[in-house]
Amino acid sequence: MRATRKNCFPLTAKVLLTLATAVVVSGCAVKKDFYATGGSRADGTVDMAYDFRQFEKPVINQQQALSIAKSKCAVWGYGDAEAFGGMTQNCQQRDGWGTCVAGQTVIKYQCIGNIDAVAPARSFSPSAASVGQPLSEQAYKQQQVDQLMQQNLPYAEYQQRYQQIMGQ
């Protein structure tokens, strides 16, 4: 009896095909760098993002994003920054079957700390002409927002009060 080898090759091809499929489907780990994409000084928010492509497994450094967000907040006069929690994924390119093949992940950061404690002190001494005169609606709202910013409230409460002021 002679051993035949005809069954060995198909098994090897199947193993290689399965292995290749597993590698392609599992994707590749790719280091991603964060960059600032937007934000609002008035709201004290900074949007940090990184780009991704299909089959990539992004390897991100949250500390890098926090460091960049802190530096942006510091330029605006805030003392620190923290992540809101959660992230938003935006698809920027889809293939013919609707699968996202390229996109962007955005993480929003909140600037925290009393902006007036970090910024140069502003002195206000009303002139004789402004004493006793009523404020315009816009000036009144701005005065209310300035006072709100000095209260160092949690973001959710700040946002609620801000909306109330702007809705007046």
95 has a pLDDT exceeding 90: yes
Domain boundaries, the chain: 26-117, 133-168
Phi-psi region at 111: left, alpha or beta (left = phi > 0; alpha = psi -120 to 50): beta
Cα atoms found within 13 Å of the Cα of residue 60, Cβ hemisphere only: 19
pLDDT in tens, 103-124: 999 999 999 987 765 444 444 4
- Beta-carbon neighbour count of residue 110 at 10 Å? 22
Tokens at residue 60, please? 């991100």
* pTM for the model: 0.55
Copy the structure tokens of residue 114: 């009393």
Burial 45-74 (b: 16+ CB within 10 A, else e): bbbbbbebeeeeeeebeeeebbebbbebbe
pLDDT in tens, 135-154: 777 777 787 877 777 776 67
User: In the numeric block, which tokens belong to residue 93?
Assistant: 């390119």
- CA gap 68, 83 in Å, rounded: 12
Question: Could you tell me which of 85, 103, 83 has the C-alpha nearest to residue 94?
Answer: 103
Each residue of 149-162: pLDDT tens digit?
777 667 777 777 77
